[in-house]
Amino acid sequence: MGVPRNLEETAIFQVQALGYKPKDVKYIIQTHLHIDHAWGLADFPWAEVHVHATEYQAIQNPKGFMEFAYIQYHWDHQPRWVRHKESMVDWFGLEAIPILETPEYDFLFIPLHGHTRGHCGVAIGKPGSWLLHCGDAASPFYRGADLHNRDKSVQKLNILPKSLANRILGDHMPRLRKILEEHGDEVKAISAHDIFSFWEYTSL
């Protein structure tokens, strides 16, 4: 949101900057399909696109003001959708849906519906070391926000009235905060628009 329209910031450029070929991207896992999360999909038409089944239903028939932010031409190229629904495992007290397993990392959908009907977080890691990408279900919400207060205009984003925050993000913050408090040695968290965590994890 508000990013410069600079091609070098697109996913396909950043993948190549890391030394990979675009075709190395075989799987894309979407927390949800809002405009600011899905715009690069057409650059990877060969990749499997993993979504929660309810999110897939939502883009077919958007409802309510939060679902105005789907742009139908983002999937005109007919992505190779993989839809997930079954809740099969427990992840720190939350329901989790296994998506993919690799020797290094497991990938799980953590349903955090509310921002959109099928919105999910994505847990990435192995037992003992996880990163939870909260998508748009959380604003900056832990100590890092104070430690990295470089820009007061950014921190204002934290001061959403609770009712508005619940409407925009869903009501998951207490559960997410509890996981970080109780399992902070095993779980890190970041959300899609969380510049504070980004600074912390990348040491920029």
The residues binding Zn ion (CB under 5 A) are: 34, 136
Q: Which is nearer to Zn ion, 34 or 188 (CB)?
A: 34
Q: Residue 185 CB, nearest distance to Zn ion (Å)? A: 30
151-187 burial, b if ≥16 CB within 10 A, otherwise e?
eeeebeeeeeeeeebebebbebbeebeebbeeeeeeb
Q: Which is nearer to Zn ion, 34 or 133 (CB)?
A: 34
Q: Which is nearer to Zn ion, 38 or 106 (CB)?
A: 38
Phi/psi for 123 (5° steps) reads -95, 130
Q: Residue 136 CB, nearest distance to Zn ion (Å)? A: 4
- HEC-encoded secondary structure of 85-113: CCCCEEECCEEEEEEEECCCCEEEEEECC
Q: Residue 188 CB, nearest distance to Zn ion (Å)? A: 21
Q: Residue 71 CB, nearest distance to Zn ion (Å)? A: 12
Residue 46 to residue 97: CA distance in whole angstroms: 23
Q: Which is nearer to Zn ion, 65 or 73 (CB)?
A: 65
Q: Where are the alpha helices (DSSP H) in 18-72?
A: 35-38, 53-60
